[in-house]
Structures are given as C-alpha cells and as structure tokens.
Amino acid sequence: MKRVAVYCGSATPSDPVYIEAARTVGRSLAEQGIGVVYGGGKLGLMGAVADSALEAGGEVIGVIPTALVNAEVAHRGLSELHVVDTMHERKARFTELSDGFLTIPGGTGTMDELWEAMSWAQLGYHAKPVALLNVAGFYDGLLEFVAKMGSVGFLRPQHQGILLAGDDLAPLLDKMRDFEPTTPIIHMKRDDL
C-alpha cells in the first residue's frame, strides 16, 4: 500500500483518546512509508492525522470541496491539496488516489465515506481493502449492525468480509495488506444474488 485514505471527523471530542488515536494513525502511516489521503481539513481528528503524518516526514494529500476551503478550514501545509466542486468528486478522488481505506472515529461525513467505500467494494467499483479502527469501542454498535445485516441476509456471505475491523492499528494494517477481494456483484450470476 502506497497510500491510504483516512476517514475521520473534523471535530475534537472532549475525550483525548480520539485525538491521540488520530495522531498515532498519521505518525504510524508516515513511519511505514504509507501516504495519507484525507479530507483536507485542519480541524479535529483530520488535522491531527495530517499534522502527525507531516511531522513524521510523510506524504499527506488533502481533498476538499470548494465550499469548505471558503470556510477557511483547509489545511494549507499539505504535500498536495486537491480542491473539488462536490462531495461526490471528493469521494471519487479518495478512491483514485488511495490503495485502501481506513476509518477512525467520526460523524455523519465519516460514515458516508465508509459506507460508500464498502458499497463500491461490494459492487466491484474497486477491489481495495476497507478497514475500521475501533478506537475505545467507538464502533462496537456499528460492528454489531454489520453482523446483523449479514445474519438477516442483506449482506451476502461472500461480502461479509469486506469490512476489516480491529482495535489495534498494526494488525489492522496487516489485514489491509493481506486483503483478498471477494467476488463483486457485477461478476456474480443472477442465481448467486
């Protein structure tokens, strides 16, 4: 993996565990020679990931919509800053620029990015690993929900391994490196659907 898209929040929660996890992610990726592709912001967990990766000598590429640049939340000290018109373009650019997706805690925008990465993997629009770092149990409920989608039948058995999850970054990155794509929907026969 040369670059990983990191999905995370632009907020700074009161519990320091989240900001520390973001710093660890940025620093660890940079130390392993993995570039960071992220939302281009300077606030919250986004800023912590970017700043930590930059401080460790890593490549950091931001992708931000014009509306957020104009709100003065763009990080101006990145390796590259791509300004796009829409959120749709932003997510497409994440997919173009990265070799995998790593989600750490965040809110609605983070969930939108995660679900789209999972959906696109399931459909076959990309064959890249999609991972979730479950910091301090933040995503316990989400992981239960994903399991329920599988047990009820809304997530096909061959797609239940799309989301790689863990609470420790190093083994999670190993899972991403070892990821073997499953058969996407676009290559399945009607009877398999």
Pair type for strands 101-103 and 130-133:
parallel
Q: Is 139 helix (H, G, I), strand (E, B) or coil?
A: coil
* CA dist., res. 121 & res. 102, Å (int): 14
Confidence of residue 190 (pLDDT cuts 50, 70, 90): low
What confidence tens digit (pLDDT) does each residue in 9-48 have? 999 999 999 999 999 999 999 999 999 999 999 999 999 9
* CA dist., res. 137 & res. 144, Å (int): 11
What confidence tens digit (pLDDT) does each residue in 38-95 have? 999 999 999 999 999 999 999 999 999 999 987 769 999 999 999 999 999 999 999 9
User: How many domains is the chain built from?
Assistant: 1
Q: Which domain holds residue 129?
A: 3-192
CATH number of the domain where residue 30 is located: 3.40.50.450
Spell out the residues 6+ positions from residue 115 whose beta carbon is closer than 8 angstroms to its own.
none
Tell me if 109 sits within 8 A of 115, measured CB to CB: no
Q: Is 5 helix (H, G, I), strand (E, B) or coil?
A: strand
Tell me if 35 sits within 8 A of 2, measured CB to CB: yes
Tell me if 182 sits within 8 A of 161, measured CB to CB: yes
* CA dist., res. 113 & res. 23, Å (int): 20
